[in-house]
Amino acid sequence: MRPPLTDSFDRHIESVRVSITDRCNFRCKYCMPAEGLPWLQRTEVLSFEEIERLATILASMGVSHVRLTGGEPLVRRDVPDLIERLVKVPGLKDLALTTNGVALRTLAGPLVDAGLRRINVSLDSLDHSRFAEITRRDMLDRVLEGLEEAERYPELRPIKVNCVAMRGFTEPEVIAFAELARRKPYTVRFIEFMPLDADRTWRKEDVLTGAEIRAMIETVYPLVRVPAAASSTAERWAFADGTGEMGFINPVSEPFCSSCDRIRITAEGSLRTCLFSMEETDLRTPLRSGATDLEIEMLIRQAVQAKRMKHQIGEAGFVRSARSMSQIGG
């Protein structure tokens, strides 16, 4: 085992989000423009072998949690093969996937067979026309069928449903989402809208905070706080009657940067140490030009040393990254 991966604020990096494609079959308004984005060429995207090698180098430094994301990770072919490779990486304890859920109807089984045990499904509305409005795709039923399929595999738990909370859009469905968390074996979590939309329409006023949503839920269903792991991004709240759990991810109103243990790798193999980084470290060139594992490890350590203390969303001087969430890997 190599020395742990730490930054200059003594935060230990234990978690990596790996984007496996920048492409997506949705066009969520808070993420992508209606016409899509200039996609990467296939050769620009890291291969499964390259992802496995990076995961192995990272795991040797104590990065034990890997989450696959995108774009939409399940538009890439053969994702179960990648899962199969990653579950065998020594030191990797936790492998998860974030998806819009459309492909789960057919892929939940193969993903579980390959070794996937945790999944997050994004779902911003339970109403057909509002779902189509926000994702620009009329596919609510496919996502709900995908969730039902995921439910059939008891080894795939927890199933988390993530909803981006936007003022002026989300309020009418807050109680319906709470009821989904009570009715189904899903932890439903609200994520505050962040300035990572390709359309660049984000305004601070559009952020519906976790505290506001919790207050709405508590007028109907009282909640009690559940202790969460120190590095967890989500506040956990259980329904007081013991039926189900909600989560609140509040990066704008209550930043959790001081306990951040995360880095990200984009689909083209650049390391980002913060969602809002202005800098990236190219790992694909060394991967493809014969660098040793130790040389790649040193590049990663150097980048992580420069991880910034916090993002500054909503503060004077905040500068948006040129990349949207789908191009980074949320």
| Binding region for ligand SAM (CB under 6 A) | 24, 30-31, 69-70, 72, 98-100, 122, 162, 164, 191, 193-194, 196-197, 325-326, 330
Residue closer to ligand SAM, measured from CB, 104 or 299: 104
**Does residue number 31 form part of the binding site for ligand SF4 (CB under 6 A)?**
yes
Residue closer to ligand SF4, measured from CB, 209 or 326: 326
- Interacting residues with ligand SF4 between 121 and 140 (CB under 6 A): 122
CA-based nearest residue to 22, from 299, 194, 282, 265:
265
Of 13, 18, 20, 24, the one binding ligand SF4 (CB under 6 A) is 24
Residue closer to ligand SF4, measured from CB, 23 or 262: 23
Residue pair 214/248 in contact (Cβ under 8 Å)? The answer is yes
Q: Please choose which of ligand SF4, ligand SAM, none residue 256 contacts, taking the beta carbon within 5 to 8 angstroms, the exact cut-off set by kind.
A: none
| CA–CA distance, 54 with 70 (Å, rounded to integer) | 17
| CA–CA distance, 10 with 306 (Å, rounded to integer) | 11
- Window 49-88: contact mask with ligand SF4 (x via CB under 6 A): ---------------------xxx----------------
Q: Please choose which of ligand SAM, ligand SF4, none residue 54 contacts, taking the beta carbon within 5 to 8 angstroms, the exact cut-off set by kind.
A: none
Give phi and psi for 133, each to the nearest 5: -65, -45
| CA–CA distance, 116 with 109 (Å, rounded to integer) | 10
| CA–CA distance, 190 with 223 (Å, rounded to integer) | 15
Is the bond leading into 158 cis (omega within 30 degrees of zero)?
yes
Q: Which stretch binds ligand SF4 (CB under 6 A): 26-34, 77-85, 205-213, 229-237?
A: 26-34
| CA–CA distance, 100 with 98 (Å, rounded to integer) | 7
